[in-house]
Amino acid sequence: MCVVRCQNQFPAVGEVLEPFSLPFIVEGWMRGSHHGPLMPTAVASANPSRFDGPPRVIALGYQLANGKLVGPRDMFDDPSFDETRHQANLIADYLRRHGPFEPHRLPLDEMEYTTMGSIMRRLEGRFEDI
C-alpha cells in the first residue's frame, strides 16, 4: 500500500498516475516466483486468474473536504488505461511463452513459495555443460 498526497504544492493526480501507463515488468507473478507486467486495473478487475496474474495494481482516490475523506474513486477504472492493459496482456503472453524458465521465472535464488530450489539441488549432479 502506498498513500500519495496530490495537488496544491504536490504533483497533480494525473502526474502521479502517469507512471502506470507503462506496464513495467515486476516480480510477483505466480507465488512471487515469476516476472510479469504490472497491470493497472479497476477494483472490479483486480481478480487475477491466469497463472495468478498478471500482477495487478489498483488506485483509490479520495478528496479531503472539511477534514473528512470523501470517496473512494476508482482511479484505474478509466478507458485511458485500456491500451496499457492491452500491452500488459501482450507482454504477459510473450513472457509465458518462454515456459518455466527465465526470463519469465525468477532466478532460483530469488524464488519464493516453491520447491524448485531443493529439486534443482537434488538434480545438480545430473547436469552437464554443453
Hey, what's the cell of 20? 502506470
Q: Which residue in this structure is represented by grid cell 491500451?
A: 83
Alpha-carbon distance 121 to 61, whole Å? 47
DSSP state of 82: H
Per-residue pLDDT tens over the stretch 51-61: 888 999 999 99
Hey, what's the cell of 120? 534443482
Q: Does residue 114 surpass a pLDDT of 70?
A: no
pTM above 0.85, yes or no: no
CA-wise closest residue to 111 among 121, 98, 123, 125:
121
